[in-house]
Amino acid sequence: MTTSGPETRDREIARQMEHFEQVCRSAGVKLTHQRMEVFREVARSGHHPDAETIHRGVRSRLPTVSLDTVYRALWLLSDLGLITTLGPSRERTRFDANLRRHHHFVCVRCGLTRDFYSDAFDDLKLPHSVRALGRVETTQVEARGVCHECAQADSAKPATAKKKGKR
């Protein structure tokens, strides 16, 4: 099994940047260097970074950018539909530049969130009971579990440490 190589990844980001510029232009939003770098950072990461992680990445290229500016750019991009947010945790919203229909694998230990694709999940039929709650716009499946790295760290620990579950 292979994940997408660096070349296709670069092309994917270039395509996303183009889309970003188009959307900003047609919405009459100024294409500032800061907004571009914030978007590029979310697109590049592919790891669903939170605002502070994005800020750290952008600061390496634009040293004077503030976290506040990054937040404002993120919410603007989100309003424009260029990125989506995920996670229930309000204080640590994470951002996603992948606008292709996709689903998430989330590691419950370290929070790693990766995309996966499934035609079957895209066509998922929801029960009628959902309608009572509101109008559904999209359905995204979240598979929760333990990533390989966390699982490996677990098995490296002595057995006694594993015996007592937290719940």
The residues of the shown chain that bind Zn ion, judged by CB under 5 A, are 96, 98, 107, 109-110, 112, 115, 147, 150
Three-state SS letters, 128-148: HHHHHCCCCCCCCCEEEECCH
Q: Give 37 or 96: the residue with its C-beta nearer to Zn ion.
A: 96
Please provide residue 150's backbone torsions phi and psi, each rounded to the nearest 5 degrees: -65, -40
Closer of 21 and 149 to Zn ion (Cβ): 149
Contact indicator for 47, 114 with CB cutoff of 8 Å: yes
As given in the structure block, the two tokens for residue 126 are 């929801």
The minimum distance between CB 98 and Zn ion, in angstroms, equals: 5
Nearer to Zn ion, 24 or 97 (CB): 97
- Which among 110, 98, 81 has a CA at the least distance from the CA of 140? 98
Min dist. Cβ of residue 51 to Zn ion (A):
16
**Exposure on the CB side of residue 49, measured as CA atoms within 13 A:** 21
Least CB distance to Zn ion at residue 154 (A): 10
Judged by beta carbon, residue 69 or residue 98, the one nearer Zn ion is 98
- To Zn ion, the closest distance from the beta carbon of 73 in angstroms equals 19
- Which CB atom, from 90 or from 100, has the smaller least distance to Zn ion? 100
CB of 110 to Zn ion, least distance (A): 3
Concatenating the DSSP letter of every residue in 79-118 gives HTTSSEEE-S-GGG-EEE---SS-EEEEETTT--EEEE--
